[in-house]
Each structure stands twice: as structure tokens, then as C-alpha cells.
Amino acid sequence: MVSYGICSCWPGAYCDTKSSCCYPTSGKPAADFGIHGLWPNYNSSSWPSNCDPDSKFDRSQIEDLLSSMKKNWPTLSCPSNEGFKFWKHEWEKHGTCAESVMDQHEYFENALKLKEKANLLQILTNSGINPDDGFYDLKNITNTIKDGIGYTPGLQCNKDRERNFQLYQIYICVDTSGTEFIECPVLPKGTCPSKLQFAKF
């Protein structure tokens, strides 16, 4: 394993694309990128998963992080829920493959710190790229994020009901400690055209 990736999801695109989305029981999340996950990667386009079936998600390990997780790592899946099912999935599929470097608390804490460090929405809006249903150049979005954090992101798009490509996820590579951004050894396969929509939320 060479690196990790922090993947952030735009809720407007998630809700526009899925047949439905449900706000968490705490209410509608802020119009901000939410964490999808912190994922270990090999130095290729592959990644390990479900590395330790004996290491179960334990909410008591992250009690002090819960208010931040509900804000920064919200679930939009249906039916409406608190988020524990989502976090359990992320730990058991991805976090267990990082156990040699970080325990369960550190896994979630590191992801929260990385999200705060990147502040993707502010980087984009400071450059006039706003979640207003407008269409923006892929190259401009990529370069704006690279200028803001110092490293090239991977962008993924999906399509809304009108078949518009929308900015969906932003992927940034992280070093083997799970704490510092790096250039990606291999960027995820891009799914965005040269112009894409930044959906309202």
C-alpha cells in the first residue's frame, strides 16, 4: 500500500441523481462537500477492502467525534438515519485496511482533519465557481483546486435526470500516514466532460 485517498461528495449531485435521497435525522446537511470516505490504495488503480472481518465498527470509539461527523460526514441514504450504518460500512470496508497505521478513532479523525484542511467549497467559490446549477470548465475546476491545496485532484461526475453531467466527487491523495496531501500515484478514472454543472443543494 502506498497511499490513501480522501473522497468528498457534493450532496446536490447525489440528490439530483439518485431516485431519492433522505436527509439525516438531524436535518438537511449544510450545502458543503461531505466526506465519502478515506480509502487505502495500492500504487495502481486498485485498492484493498474488508481486510479484517473481526474488527467491527464501535461507536463508543468515536463518541467525541460524533457532532463533527454528523456535520462533515453526513449520510443521504434512505431511509433517514443518523449515519452509523454509513460509517460502519466505511470502517469495515476501508478503515480495516488502514489498521496498521491508524485505529478506528484516528481513521475518522484523520478524515475530518483532511476535509477541514482542503475546504473545497471555499476554494471553488473564492474563484467564482458556485453551486448555482451553472456550467463550468473541467480544467478550471481542476486547476482551481490544485492551486488551493497544491495537488491535482481527481474529479468524478454523474448525470442528473436531464442527463447533465454534474460535479459529484472530488478525490485527493494522501500520504501513508493518512494525514498529508500528496500527488496521486494514479488518479481515479475521470468521468467528467469538458463542461459540467455544479448543482444547487
Q: Which residue of the set 90, 92, 106, 109 is catalytic? A: 90
Q: Which residue of the set 63, 89, 92, 94 is catalytic? A: 94
Task: Map grid coordinates 502506498 to a residue.
Answer: 2
Q: What is the full DSSP assignment across 84-134?
A: HHHHHHHHHHTGGGGTTT--HHHHHHHHHHHHHHH-HHHHHHHTT--SSSE
Look at strands 34-41 and 3-9 and give their pairing.
Answer: antiparallel
Asked if 12 contacts 201 with a C-beta cutoff of 8 angstroms, the reply is yes
90 flagged as catalytic: yes
Which three cell numbers, joined as nine digits, stand for 76?
443521504
Q: Which residue of the set 36, 92, 106, 109 is catalytic? A: 36
Going by C-beta distance under 8 Å and a sequence separation of 6 or more, which residues neighbour residue 17? Answer: 158, 159, 160, 161, 166, 168
Catalytic residues: 36, 90, 94
